[in-house]
Amino acid sequence: MAGQSGIHLVSADGPAGQHFGLAAPVLFDPEQHFAPGQKTDSLDRVSQFSLAAAGAALRDSAIPVNTDNAGRFGVSLGTGMGANKSLEDAYIQLLLRDPNRMKPLTILTVMNNASAAHIAMQHGLSGPNLTYSCACASSAMAVGEAWRQIRHGYADAMVAGGAEAMLTFGGFKTWEAMRVLAIADRNDPSASCRPFSKNRSGLVLGEGAAMVVLEEREAALRRGARIYAELVGYGSSNDPAHITKPTVDGQARAMRLALADAGMNADGVDYVNAHGTATALNDVTETRAIKQVFGGCAYRLPVSSTKSMLGHLLGGAGAMEFVIAVLAICHRAIPPTAHLDVPDPECDLDYVPGVGRHDQDVRCVMSNSFAFGGTNAVLIARQADT
Amino acid sequence: MMKNTLETVREILAKKYSLPIESVTPEATLESLKLDSLDLIETLFEVEDEFHIRVPQDRGEDVTIATVQDIVTVVNKLILQQHPAPLAGAQRL
């Protein structure tokens, strides 16, 4: 809320040198999250993040998992690149060291569904187990599709969210090669990610996981669950023209579909957590898409990009930002777009620059996620009517 | 320090799976130590490094590894196959 960012100058070692760059790393001590003796050798960092977040979400939900409900309790997880570090280490071993000494569990560690599999194993969940990989929309899709599993009657509850752990030598180098990473602010590296600001220079990589427990509404009410919000709309569309270039119409369509799904008009939305990557292309396109959908209301609508502080969690971003949007309802507070110092004439909405706003009437929120590859996913949540 | 095969295998298993060393007896079954087939594959991978041996992909249909001693037996056999110095030394006497 204070506009403080977790972005730092970091370094990563690789076999061909060291990379210095910007990132928002998670200070993660596995010992805090795993019991002594629990086998973590074959858990990539992304799966460790996933297990930690899912465990916290399940504990918070207080749903007991037992033989009666386990079959109707599933997992839906999104990740862009999955076990990036373990895959990278495997290729270093394969190509630079000894291809006959591959770690025996490499496949089980790097498969994209490893995180979801371990969540289900740890908690004994035997309902649908799904993994979505659509780049930066992965975990928004995972949440939306989990919701459909419940709405369409295939499950009663789902652990849903996503994770990414791509702050590796190869992760940095491949993103750097695409020339979309932010240039470091010489005076304050933590201020290097500036969504919607005229002087924005690109995205900053983040990492982490975010998980929610979705439960069928009546069941949650019956057991007196603590309900953070009600997920009421999910819209998904695709921009098929180009692998990275978004379109106003594609993004707007996903927002409209989510609104239609929720059975509401645009003027009912109180806050939008934007995709807001701080790239030249996204921020202008998203601004135009919001204007197309919200019309005259667009200028009164608070829209912020929390990537200015958390960096871009890629496959984990959609779930993390959905959680932030839901917490905006719970805390009646709107998080800011940090480091927005120089207005861009093409980005002229209320981006909540600098610091967040308290005591806000936030009853309905929208979270936007738009991906390389074209996938657009939009989630809408409303204050629970209990 | 010199160690025999059994002690080395026991130490690898105890350390890797946080087991009390006294539970890792030669007769202990992998099942009783709550180790499954994937754990066995990982253990053999470490054993290969430790003894500079290679466990062939095809361990042979007649070779079943159920106990700690079974691992030791396989390892000793492979050591002699792949590092025949002890046998050669015996012949020189």
pLDDT digits over A154-170, tens only?
A: 999 999 999 999 999 99
Q: Kindly state whether residue A1 falls inside one of the protein's structural domains.
A: no
CA A245 – CA A268 distance, rounded (Å): 29
CA A125 – CA A55 distance, rounded (Å): 12
More confident residue, A73 or A179: A73
How many alpha carbons fall within 13 Å on the CB side of residue B60? 8
CA of A90 vs chain B CAs: smallest distance (Å): 15
Residue A37: its pLDDT value, please?
Answer: 74
The verdict on a CB contact (< 8 Å) between B41 and A105 is yes
| Overall domain count for chain A | 1
Residue A14: its pLDDT value, please?
Answer: 87
The pLDDT of residue A51 is above 90: yes
Segment B9-36, tens digit of pLDDT: 999 999 999 999 999 999 999 999 999 9
Q: Once rounded to an integer, what is the mean pLDDT over residues A210-222?
A: 97
Q: Kindly state whether residue A291 falls inside one of the protein's structural domains.
A: yes
The pLDDT of residue A16 is above 90: no
Residue A40: its pLDDT value, please?
Answer: 85
ipTM of the complex as predicted: 0.72
Model pTM score: 0.92
Is A36 an interface residue toward B (CB < 8 Å)? Answer: yes
Q: Is A8 a catalytic residue?
A: no
CA A327 – CA A253 distance, rounded (Å): 25
Q: Kindly state whether residue A3 falls inside one of the protein's structural domains.
A: no
CA of A327 vs chain B CAs: smallest distance (Å): 40
Is A103 an interface residue toward B (CB < 8 Å)? Answer: yes
The pLDDT of residue A298 is above 60: yes
Let me know: does A214 contact A322? Beta carbons within 8 Å.
Answer: no
User: A84: which 2 tokens?
Assistant: 């990036």
The pLDDT of residue A208 is above 80: yes
Q: Is A200 helix (H, G, I), strand (E, B) or coil?
A: coil
User: B39: which 2 tokens?
Assistant: 């754990």
Residue whose token pair is 């079943």: B64
- What share of chain A has pLDDT > 70, as a percent? 100
The verdict on a CB contact (< 8 Å) between A104 and B17 is no
Structural domain that includes position A199: 8-31+42-382
Q: Kindly state whether residue A321 falls inside one of the protein's structural domains.
A: yes
The pLDDT of residue A291 is above 70: yes
| Chain B residues with CB-CB distance to A104 below 8 A | 38, 41-42, 44-45
Q: Kindly state whether residue A37 falls inside one of the protein's structural domains.
A: no
The pLDDT of residue B92 is above 50: no
CA of A37 vs chain B CAs: smallest distance (Å): 5
Residue of A nearest to B35 (CA): A39
CA A279 – CA A194 distance, rounded (Å): 9
Residue B89: its pLDDT value, please?
Answer: 56
Domain at A219, CATH number: 3.40.47.10
Q: Kindly state whether residue A36 falls inside one of the protein's structural domains.
A: no
The pLDDT of residue B84 is above 60: yes
- What share of chain A has pLDDT > 90, as a percent? 93
Q: Kindly state whether residue A129 falls inside one of the protein's structural domains.
A: yes
Residue A332: its pLDDT value, please?
Answer: 98
Residue whose token pair is 């929390």: A306
The pLDDT of residue B90 is above 60: no
| Chain B residues with CB-CB distance to A103 below 8 A | 45
CA A78 – CA A141 distance, rounded (Å): 7
Choose among A36, A101, A105: nearest Cβ to B42.
Answer: A105
Choose among A36, A42, A103: nearest Cβ to B18.
Answer: A36
Q: Once rounded to an integer, what is the mean pLDDT over residues A322-330?
A: 98
Residue A36: its pLDDT value, please?
Answer: 80
Residue A240: its pLDDT value, please?
Answer: 94
A236-239: long-range contacts, CB 8 A cutoff, minimum separation 24: A236/A141, A236/A144, A236/A375, A236/A376, A236/A377, A236/A378, A237/A376, A238/A374, A238/A375, A238/A376, A239/A374, A239/A376
Q: Is A275 a catalytic residue?
A: yes
User: A144: which 2 tokens?
Assistant: 């939306």
**Which one from A312, A339, A347, A364 is the annotated catalytic residue?**
A312
Q: Kindly state whether residue A221 falls inside one of the protein's structural domains.
A: yes
Residue whose token pair is 């805390």: A331
